[in-house]
Amino acid sequence: MGLKLKQSYHHSAVAVKVNEQMGTKRGYTFIQSNRAWLPKFLLLWVMVMAFLSTWIYKKMDADNKVRRKEVLSTMCEQRARMLQDQFSVSVNHVHALAILVSTFHYYKDSSAIDQETFAEYTARTAFERPLLSGVAYAERVRHSEREKFERQHGWTIKTMKREPSPIRDEYAPVIFSQETVSYIESLDMMSGEEDRENILRARATGKAVLTSPFRLLGSHHLGVVLTFPVYKSKLPPNPTVEERIEATAGYLGGAFDVESLVENLLGQLAGNQAILVNVYDITNSSDHLIMYGNQNQEGDLALLHESKLDFGDPFRKHQMICRYHQKAPTSWTALTTAFLFFVICLLVGYILYGAAIHIVKVEDDFHEMQELMVRAEAADVAKSQFLATVSHEIRTPMNGILGMLALLLDTDLSSTQRDYAQTAQACGKALIALINEVLDRAKIEAGKLELENVPFDLRSILDDVLSLFSEKSRKKGLELAVFVSDKVPEMVMGDPGRFRQIITNLVGNSVKFTERGHILVKVHVAENPKPIDDAKAETCLNGGLDEGALISGGRQFNTLSGYEAADEQNSWDSFQHLVTAEALQNDASVRMTDADEAFQSVTLMVSVEDTGIGIPLIAQDRVFMPFMQADSSTSRNYGGTGIGLSITKCLVELMGGHISFISRPQVGSTFSFTTAFGRCKKASLSDTKKSNAEDLPSGFRGLKAIVVDGKPVRAAVTRYHLKRLGMLVEVANNVKIAASACGKNGSSYGSKIQPDIVLVEKDSWLSGEDGSLSLRMLDCKQNGFKLPKMILLATNITNAELEGAKAAGFADTTIMKPLRASMVAACLQQVLGTGKKRQPGKGILNGSSVLGSLLCGKKILVVDDNMVNRRVAAGALKKFGAAVECAESGKTALKLLQLPHSFDACFMDIQMPEMDGFEATRRIRMMESQANEQMNGGADEGSGRKDEWHLPILAMTADVIHATYEECLKCGMDGYVSKPFEEENLYQAVAKFFKTKPISDS
């Protein structure tokens, strides 16, 4: 149920998280929020730009047109003015001629002008009238005078069609003419329609008048005729029309050949190719008569310029119209400019659009990624949940299998069957271990593994781990030893469980892969690398003079077992340095520790050295990858999944350290890692030590011991363990030295102690001459000295050897390695007979009876709402000798636990109606702390009983998830046992609280 609840809670939490993240990340940018509009924006942009470029084109084009128009108008005006000027010059001259004629023809009595004179004069002055093709003078002849006139001149008046003129009122025959127009002599000007009109108008106005354009005689060019009246008498000032008509003597006329005239004129001007000029007579405004130019409308009709022409005849109006020959050329500049502008803008728009699209895409991707990340995290959480659930679900049937196998093994089986069953059980255990490891790995990956931070005794944990592997190592004949530098604080803050796991993993690996030699776990403070460097230098200096003796053809190395180790740093040279450095610093240790207190944390360097098969070079870089082993044969030969080291690495990194290794194939591997632990506060140290750490008996303080061991490293390890018991230790290289030491007490041999104990390594004993030893011993006895206790240290020993040892004087005892302080203490107690009973070490007695001894006589409260559970729990606890009381709810429990009470522990179900286990625990803790405060206030020193009320409360739960455990701790519980009770589980939980009791009681 707890699991389920937890799951659903977790899922909802994930969902909430997802929502939150989505919520916060929805802060879209402008671009993102208008993404749907982007193409429209682009389109709009393109349209605006198209419009703009069109506008630019139009403007430039309009400019061009205006300029063109201006050019046209100036050209037109120029031409009009020129034409007008030339025309008026000609008209003036004709005027002068008219006056000449009136002066010399009429005012003189006999005419001074005859045809020849006139012709000559006009020919000679023709340059003055460039526009006139010729001039002629026609006399006014009335019908009454016609005969006289015809007689006088000798020709008859003819019409324009060169026929004798019909009878009219008046005639105007040409009498003088310029040679160019001599063909019109004797022609009656009045007979032509235009001329007649002209003549009438001229004599009425007295001014030059022009005809409308018509085809001229002779040249057939378009032209106009200019007519001037010539008066025979002087006119009065402001004469009337009648007076003018009366006074008219004749008419001087000239023909303007407009076409050739304008042609000539334009020829003189620049740019006449470009424009087309038309000259019109617009007297009749509805019907314009063309005087010059092509009647067909050619050229650019769109643009024209009109200029007024004033030829001096007010009756006639003329105008000049100019056009360009060609249509206005397309303005390429404008077109290109506009087009380029458009293209550039289009590109800019497209670039912006592309950028926006890209931004949108990137943001989309980003959001997608985020979503995926959230989902992946959720999946990760789900995965670890799943793993936790599944592993739990697998564990339950596995327990069934194992239980049944255990039952099966208890029955009568043939040896083959037993073998099968045992194999099956071993496999099952391995499978459970694997599941636990996978679960661990998953937890670490999910980041759910949180480290504890509690004070613990590192040395005792190392001892524990060693004791785990002592059986295996003894079987293989391996030396297994641990050495902790004195500088490592006794208690450190950290996660003992995880530290133990790391060490167990590494040592387990080492044990697995080592067939001979040793495994050494070494812990020292990693803040002092210098001595090691020094030591290294020393080693180099002493390189040639190595003390290693040649034993049975192989080189003897200064390591624990004499086998070569992969990492030379761990060999005796550096080791010795470390030990001596410590010895030197021992004096100053008080000051040192004071100084060290200042640091909040201490970094420890832990190395696990073995002389196993090593790791192949090619496999060395993937050692820490999960499920990777050196090669596929490894798992076949040695078993294991290859996940252990990766978990170890994760754990080390979680603890703020790093792990590395040096390995040489067929030589061995040394794994070293650093971890940072917190230092313990002095105050809390004493408290926690009592409850948490394994107390070492203090009865050996001050005893003197001699360790006889040829191998310095091993001797140092032995010394370390004895020192922990408070003994003074001397190391002797061989038996002789030791014997002499105890023999000649205070003599020149140096050693000034009278040893209480002599510990002899088996190797030393076997190599040394046993005869002499016993002899020495006898000497000692005879000399009246107190005989030191002789103890043999051995990794493994055969029965024969044991007998031999007894015979040789090691009657007292044999301590089997690996050494552990507590075990050494137990053995010494036995040997020295200090009156203490042998403490029930857990290595010797099995768990059940230990549990019995732990729980025996304890009063325990079981709180569970479920009657069956209550009964079962009570039964289980009673079996181990505890007195059990039950409560069916949190409230009842609170009542029972009103202070003072006599309960030693409380097992609390977590899920109960009304008040659950967490809440009940919180209240109990509250009660306790209140009581404690009162007590501290009343009597400062602790009374006879415990200093503080703290009832160990253990949660009972069917849930294995770590989080539940953390929650248990959070509300003040001390641990948990899984429900239903299992002996081991119960033992582990209970041992924490009751372990020290029997010892301290006795």
Partner 1 sequence: MLGLAADRLRADMNRLLAFLFHQGILDEQFLQLQQLQDESSPNFVSEVVNIYFHESEKLLRSLRSLLMDREFSDYNRMGIHLNQFMGSSSSIGANRIRNVCVAFRAASEQNNRAGCLRALEVLEHEYCFLKNKLHELFQIQQQRVLAAGVRYPMQN
CA distance 736 to 439: 56
Per rule CB under 8 A, is residue 805 in the interface with partner 1?
Answer: no
With contact defined as beta carbons under 8 Å apart, do 651 and 659 qualify?
no
Per rule CB under 8 A, is residue 403 in the interface with partner 1?
Answer: yes
Q: Which of these segments, 644-652, 656-664, 775-783, 979-987, binds partner 1 (CB under 8 A)?
A: 979-987
With contact defined as beta carbons under 8 Å apart, do 181 and 135 qualify?
yes
CA distances to 196, 451, 731 from 771, rounded to whole Å, are: 183, 57, 21
Least distance (Å) between residue 397 CB and partner 1 = 8
The distance in angstroms from the start CA to the end CA of the chain is 44
Closest listed residue to residue 72, CA positions, set 311, 300, 319? 300
| Strand partners for 909 | 956
Q: Which of these segments, 173-181, 217-225, 393-401, 816-824, binds partner 1 (CB under 8 A)?
A: 393-401
Tell me which of 197, 380, 695, 982 binds partner 1, using CB under 8 A. Answer: 982
Select 8 or 240, whichever has its Cβ closest to partner 1. 8
Backbone CA torsion sign across 827, 831, 834, 838:
positive
Tell me which of 704, 719, 979, 995 binds partner 1, using CB under 8 A. Answer: 979
Phi, psi for 956 (deg, rounded to 5): -110, 125
Phi, psi for 292 (deg, rounded to 5): -150, 145
Closest listed residue to residue 638, CA positions, set 662, 618, 612, 607? 612
Select 206 or 847, whichever has its Cβ closest to partner 1. 847
Per rule CB under 8 A, is residue 586 in the interface with partner 1?
Answer: no
Per rule CB under 8 A, is residue 980 in the interface with partner 1?
Answer: yes
Q: 791 — alpha (psi -120 to 50), left (phi > 0) or beta?
A: beta
Closest listed residue to residue 925, CA positions, set 886, 944, 897, 901? 897
Cis-peptide into 130, omega within 30 deg: no
Q: Which of these segments, 287-295, 525-533, 920-928, 975-983, binds partner 1 (CB under 8 A)?
A: 975-983
- 6-45: which residues touch partner 1 (CB under 8 A)? 8
Per rule CB under 8 A, is residue 400 in the interface with partner 1?
Answer: yes
Q: Which of these segments, 116-124, 336-344, 703-711, 870-878, binds partner 1 (CB under 8 A)?
A: 870-878
Select 831 or 872, whichever has its Cβ closest to partner 1. 872
Per rule CB under 8 A, is residue 989 in the interface with partner 1?
Answer: no
Least distance (Å) between residue 979 CB and partner 1 = 7
Q: Which of these segments, 278-286, 503-511, 813-821, 873-881, binds partner 1 (CB under 8 A)?
A: 873-881
Three-state secondary structure string covering 734-759: CHHHHHHHHHCCCCCCCCCCCCCEEE
Residue indicated by tokens 């999944």:
641
Per rule CB under 8 A, is residue 516 in the interface with partner 1?
Answer: no
Per rule CB under 8 A, is residue 876 in the interface with partner 1?
Answer: yes
Phi, psi for 322 (deg, rounded to 5): -110, 145
Q: Which helix H or strand E contains 321, and what residues bound it?
A: strand 318-324
Least distance (Å) between residue 859 CB and partner 1 = 17
Per rule CB under 8 A, is residue 195 in the interface with partner 1?
Answer: no
Per rule CB under 8 A, is residue 872 in the interface with partner 1?
Answer: yes
Tell me which of 399, 684, 767, 834 binds partner 1, using CB under 8 A. Answer: 399
- 920-959: which residues touch partner 1 (CB under 8 A)? 958
Closest listed residue to residue 638, CA positions, set 615, 661, 618, 621? 615
Tell me which of 868, 900, 945, 946 binds partner 1, using CB under 8 A. Answer: 868
Which tokens belong to 122? 């006009």
Total of residues contacting partner 1 (CB under 8 A): 32
Select 148 or 871, whichever has its Cβ closest to partner 1. 871
Could you please report the per-residue DSSP string of 21-83?
A: HHHHHT---HHHHTGGGHHHHHHHHHHHHHHHHHHHHHHHHHHHHHHHHHHHHHHHHHHHHHH
Q: Which of these segments, 11-19, 135-143, 402-410, 485-493, binds partner 1 (CB under 8 A)?
A: 402-410
CA distances to 383, 482, 489, 525 from 607, rounded to whole Å, are: 34, 10, 17, 11
Q: Which of these segments, 186-194, 485-493, 805-813, 874-882, binds partner 1 (CB under 8 A)?
A: 874-882
CA distance 956 to 975: 9
Per rule CB under 8 A, is residue 831 in the interface with partner 1?
Answer: no
Least distance (Å) between residue 873 CB and partner 1 = 8
Site string for partner 1, 351-390 (x = CB under 8 A): ----------------------------------------
Per rule CB under 8 A, is residue 869 in the interface with partner 1?
Answer: yes
Site string for partner 1, 404-423 (x = CB under 8 A): x--x----------------
**Where on the chain is the footprint of partner 1 (CB under 8 A)?**
1, 4, 8, 396-397, 399-400, 402-404, 407, 864-869, 871-873, 875-876, 878-879, 909, 911, 913, 958, 979-982
